[in-house]
Amino acid sequence: MIEIKNVSKTYNGEKKAIKNISFDIKDGEIFAFIGHNGAGKTTMIKSLVGILDFEEGDIFINNKSIKKDPINCKLEMAYVPDNPDLYENMTAIDFINFVCDMYKIDIEVRKENIKKYAAMFEIEDKLNNDISSFSHGMKQKVALIAALAHNPNVLIMDEPFVGLDPKAVFDIKNIMKQMTKEGKTIFFSTHILDVAEKLCDRVAIIKNGEIVKIGKMKDIKGDSSLEKVFLELGEK
Amino acid sequence: MKTFSLLKAVLSQDMNMFKYSTKKNSSKLKKTLFPILLFLLVCFSFGYYAYMITKELAPFNLTYICLSMFIILVTVMTFISGIYKSQGILFESKDNDLLFSLPIKKSQILFVRIFKLLLFEFIYNLMFLLPAFVIFIYFESPNISFYFISLLMIILVPIIPTVLSSILGYIIKVTSSKFKAKKIIQTLLSSIVFLGIFYLSMNLESFIQDIASNATSINDMLTKIYYPLGLYIDLIFKFDLLKLIKLVSINVLPLIIFILIGEKLYFKIIFNSKEEIIKKKINVKKELNIKRKPIISLARKELKRYFSSPIYMFNTSFGLILCLIVPIYMSLKGSSILDNILSNFGMTSDLSIHTMFYFFILFVCSMTSISSSSISLEGKTINITKSLPIKEEVILKSKILTCYLIELPFIIIGEIIFFIKFRPNIYYFILITLLGFLMILLTACIGLIVNLKYPKMNASNDTEVVKQSMSSMVSVFIGIGILVGSIFIIVLLSDYLNLDLILGLHIVLITIISIILYYILMKFGVKEYRKINV
């Protein structure tokens, strides 16, 4: 479970990127964060996964504070960034193994998961290639395998569908659904409203660092479409 | 106008390190003040050195010789550093795709990149030339034309060596691109060229004697050594418009010719240097059966980064290669090579071979700063490590471990060769072994602290981080400071105390400083690491 309590983040002491944000995401829930470019989605996600320090509020992952107990929080999570800037000088298998070492994953578990996901994303024969030779989509797949290899309880993804081929998008959606069946939590940001509409239990719409709407999909869109609601809120 | 905009854009990242606002953030002011103070301190040191030389030359009306020495020094330095800087800035820039997609002339792109190379040479050269000019003015009170010509000379001095080193950089890049292991060949070729220059500089004596015996005057000799220098010396004493035009033309024409001819060859190599898909001979199944401790895995990652960057390797490997070559040479031909190296740094050679070797290990470690670039070189990938369940302390420790893994084998082998040949007593054996261990820790901590204070996370190529960042500059200055300070204190105290005791005290001092810096790194460095936001 993710609990975000009154989180505010300021850059250079001037611009407040996110302002007093609070919400919960329950176990077994798929939650999407929607907003325009620069609305504060990535800042929120980076704060959530412990990349960015924030001044006010706190974030709890399964009752552990990211501020006070970052290591145990991170052990629960996996993060897939929007732009997978991976270690270009490594091979894909080197990188995945590196991440597994950080999570101290047993050899048998990592072997099984890496094989499973590499086969699913059809990159088994490219695992010993240098990451520098990969396309954006390929890098995204490597980042996903590394994230999923340690069976995280909470999966956080920033724009996970950008740059992926339709088959990979389909597979990720299935993985997400499967994970929620196992009681795991999924939080992601997206621009693709269609995906959010079909996949998510709840969504939050963020604008200028503030949440302007949050709730179950059917409550937010009512009889309208998510796209329409999003555009209307954007104009206000 | 377009070239100016391009210059502004390309240099904006580099110039950020000089920007600060007193109102917004006082720590930024502090961050900028420290390098300025360091710059002034280095200027003062060179100024003092120039003063000591000129004082001896002044009674014979030869003050200009000191000025000439400094100009030759910066010319050689620009040439040497340009060899590897050019490879990074000209051939490995990450903004190729962006710039080539815009309606910009190829010559403009090449010009801007050469300008970028030159700009940093101006700043480096100022550190040497400014004190030399001030001392000359102090002794000679020259007329107004001196100021004008010298200012012009500051701009002109780095052009020829930069053009020459860019040509050499181009040849190295073309040659290495024909091999499969491009990066290793590139580093190897650069090192060979560098060691070649080093060897030549060690054997310049007979060459200069040859010129001196055939020269009619000292200025004639300088002209024969480096023609633009002779012209400059002529001009500061007697202004002559024709000679001035000649001086400007000799320096600027090679740059114009290089841009016009180089434009075609340059872009040919850029377009052909796309990385091939490298399928390594890695046994995926075997790799899956290995589980490493986080710190080992992190150090492994650091090593891979190190060996993937020729400029990074080359910049830090010179001292380490010397660490192998010098003891071997000493074993075969005695200590003459150490005499030469140390006399280049103004040190007398009336020291015992053991003390000289102690200074040599100190020199190697002080000049090898691997960690000062290691955080900046992470770039945006720093977000990966920050999101992983590992303490920041472990990340920083892994960077120190990497320094040990790279430096220690060279130092140990160098020391073993020395021990076998010169059979020192057990006390010296312990001292020199400790020195290697401690100096690696000390320089690694300094490098990391400085890099955390001055991170450069958005560099467009490795050269900008390794050679042109505030972090690398400050670390080099501190390294020189440690070396010169240590030698100065040891030599000074040797008149009053037993040398063994002094070296022992020196080791104790290094131990204390290393422990304090390690503590600072683990306490405050961790907070700085967390603050980095890319």
Q: Tell me which DSSP letter residue B309 carries.
A: -
Nearest CA of chain B to the CA of A66: how many Å?
Answer: 11
B282:A110 CB<8 A: no
Most confident range (mean pLDDT) of A192-206, B270-284, B318-332, B501-515 is: B501-515
B→A interface, C-beta within 8 Å: 24-25, 275-282, 284, 287-294, 296-298, 300-301, 304-305, 307-309, 379-381, 383-384, 386-391, 530-531, 533
Name the residue with higher pLDDT: A51 or B8. A51
Question: Which of A97, A110, A139 to substitute to test the interface with B, most B CBs within 10 Å?
Answer: A97
A128:B280 CB<8 A: yes
Q: What is the pLDDT of residue B440?
A: 96
A102:B297 CB<8 A: yes
| For range B253-279, the mean pLDDT | 73
Task: Name the closest residue on chain A to residue B527, using Cα atoms.
Answer: A53
Q: Is the ipTM above a cut-off of 0.90? A: no
Most confident range (mean pLDDT) of A20-29, A131-140, B109-118 is: A20-29
How many CB atoms sit inside 10 A of residue B384's CB? 23
Q: What is the pLDDT of residue B417?
A: 93
Residue of A75, A85, A86 lying closest to B389 (CB–CB): A75
Q: What is the pLDDT of residue B282?
A: 64
B386:A51 CB<8 A: yes
A128:B284 CB<8 A: yes
Task: Give contacts of A12 with chain B, Cβ < 8 Å.
Answer: 24-25
Nearest CA of chain B to the CA of A145: how many Å?
Answer: 14
Residue B24 has pLDDT above 60, yes or no: no
Smallest CA-to-CA distance from B186 within B356, B95, B307 is with B307
User: Percent of chain A scored above 70 by pLDDT?
Assistant: 97
Task: Give contacts of B183 with chain A, Cβ < 8 Å.
Answer: none
Q: What is the pLDDT of residue B409?
A: 95
Q: What is the pLDDT of residue B271?
A: 65
Task: Give contacts of A105 with chain B, Cβ < 8 Å.
Answer: 291
Distance CA B392, CA B398 (A): 10
Predicted TM-score (pTM) of the model is 0.80
| For range B39-55, the mean pLDDT | 85
Q: What is the pLDDT of residue B410?
A: 95
Q: What is the pLDDT of residue B342?
A: 62
Nearest CA of chain A to the CA of B304: how many Å?
Answer: 7
Distance CA A8, CA A22 (A): 10
Phi-psi region of A36 (alpha: psi -120 to 50; beta: other; left: phi over 0): beta
Q: What is the pLDDT of residue B15?
A: 57
Name the residue with higher pLDDT: A191 or B250. B250
DSSP A62-92: TTEETTT-HHHHHHHEEEE-SS----TTSBH
The answer to whether B452 and B531 have CB atoms below 8 angstroms apart is: no
User: How does residue B287 score in pLDDT terms, banded at 50, 70 and 90?
Assistant: confident
A133:B276 CB<8 A: yes
Q: What is the pLDDT of residue B335?
A: 67
Most confident range (mean pLDDT) of B78-87, B205-214, B322-331, B385-394 is: B385-394
B531:A53 CB<8 A: yes
Residues B386-399 have pLDDT tens digits of 999 999 999 999 99
Q: Tokens at residue B325, please? A: 């070559």
B287:A97 CB<8 A: yes
Nearest CA of chain A to the CA of B456: how many Å?
Answer: 16
Distance CA A112, CA A103 (A): 15
B383:A85 CB<8 A: yes
Distance CA B29, CA B35 (A): 11
Nearest CA of chain A to the CA of B323: how many Å?
Answer: 28
Q: What is the pLDDT of residue B362?
A: 94
Residue B456 backbone dihedrals phi, psi, to 5 degrees: -130, 90
Q: With the C-alpha atoms ordered B93, B96, B97, B102, is the resulting torsion angle positive or negative?
A: positive
Smallest CA-to-CA distance from B73 within B95, B102, B103, B53 is with B53
Task: Give contacts of A107 with chain B, Cβ < 8 Å.
Answer: 288-291
Q: What is the pLDDT of residue B350?
A: 65
User: How does residue B25 score in pLDDT terms, banded at 50, 70 and 90?
Assistant: low
Residue B348 has pLDDT above 60, yes or no: no
Distance CA A97, CA A110 (A): 8
Q: What is the pLDDT of residue B205?
A: 66
Q: How many CA atoms lie within 13 Å of B226's alpha carbon, on the beta-carbon side?
A: 17
Task: Give contacts of A50 with chain B, Cβ < 8 Å.
Answer: 386-387
Q: With the C-alpha atoms ordered B524, B525, B530, B531, is the resulting torsion angle positive or negative?
A: positive
Residue of A81, A105, A110 lying closest to B383 (CB–CB): A81
Per-domain residue ranges of chain B: 35-279, 288-531
Residues B35-45 have pLDDT tens digits of 788 788 888 88
Task: Name the closest residue on chain A to residue B533, using Cα atoms.
Answer: A52
Residue B20 has pLDDT above 50, yes or no: no
* Residue A98 vs residues B288, B385, B457: alpha-carbon distances, Å: 11, 10, 22
Distance CA A31, CA A9 (A): 21
Residue B346 backbone dihedrals phi, psi, to 5 degrees: 75, 20
Phi-psi region of A50 (alpha: psi -120 to 50; beta: other; left: phi over 0): left
Question: Which of A45, A106, A128, A157 to substitute to test the interface with B, most B CBs within 10 Å?
Answer: A128
Residue B193 has pLDDT above 60, yes or no: yes
Helix residue spans in chain A (DSSP H): 41-48, 70-76, 92-102, 107-120, 136-148, 166-181, 193-199, 217-221, 226-235
Q: What is the pLDDT of residue A118?
A: 93
Q: What is the pLDDT of residue B211?
A: 67
| For range B62-88, the mean pLDDT | 86
A98:B297 CB<8 A: yes
| For range A96-119, the mean pLDDT | 92
B389:A72 CB<8 A: yes
Name the residue with higher pLDDT: A20 or B4. A20
Distance CA A15, CA A55 (A): 13
Side by side, the strands of the sheet bearing A185-190 are A77-80, A154-158, A185-190, A30-35, A202-207, A210-216
B387:A74 CB<8 A: yes
Residue A57 has pLDDT above 90, yes or no: yes
B308:A72 CB<8 A: no
User: How does residue B344 score in pLDDT terms, banded at 50, 70 and 90?
Assistant: low
DSSP A171-208: HHHHHHHHHHHTT-EEEEEES-HHHHHHH-SEEEEEET
Name the residue with higher pLDDT: B419 or B533. B419
Q: What is the pLDDT of residue B397?
A: 97
Task: Give contacts of B301 with chain A, Cβ < 8 Å.
Answer: 87, 90, 98
Q: What is the pLDDT of residue B273?
A: 59
Q: Which residue matches tokens 């690694």?
A: B444
User: How does residue B22 score in pLDDT terms, banded at 50, 70 and 90?
Assistant: very low
B294:A102 CB<8 A: yes
A98:B275 CB<8 A: no
Q: What is the pLDDT of residue A29?
A: 93
Name the residue with higher pLDDT: B279 or B385. B385
Residue B168 has pLDDT above 70, yes or no: yes
| For range A30-46, the mean pLDDT | 90
Q: Average per-residue pLDDT in chain B?
A: 84
Nearest CA of chain A to the CA of B178: how many Å?
Answer: 19
Residue B267 has pLDDT above 80, yes or no: no
| For range A55-81, the mean pLDDT | 92
User: How does residue A6 score in pLDDT terms, banded at 50, 70 and 90?
Assistant: very high
A103:B278 CB<8 A: no
Residue B179 has pLDDT above 90, yes or no: no
Q: Which residue matches tokens 């996110």?
A: A18
User: Percent of chain A scored above 90 by pLDDT?
Assistant: 53
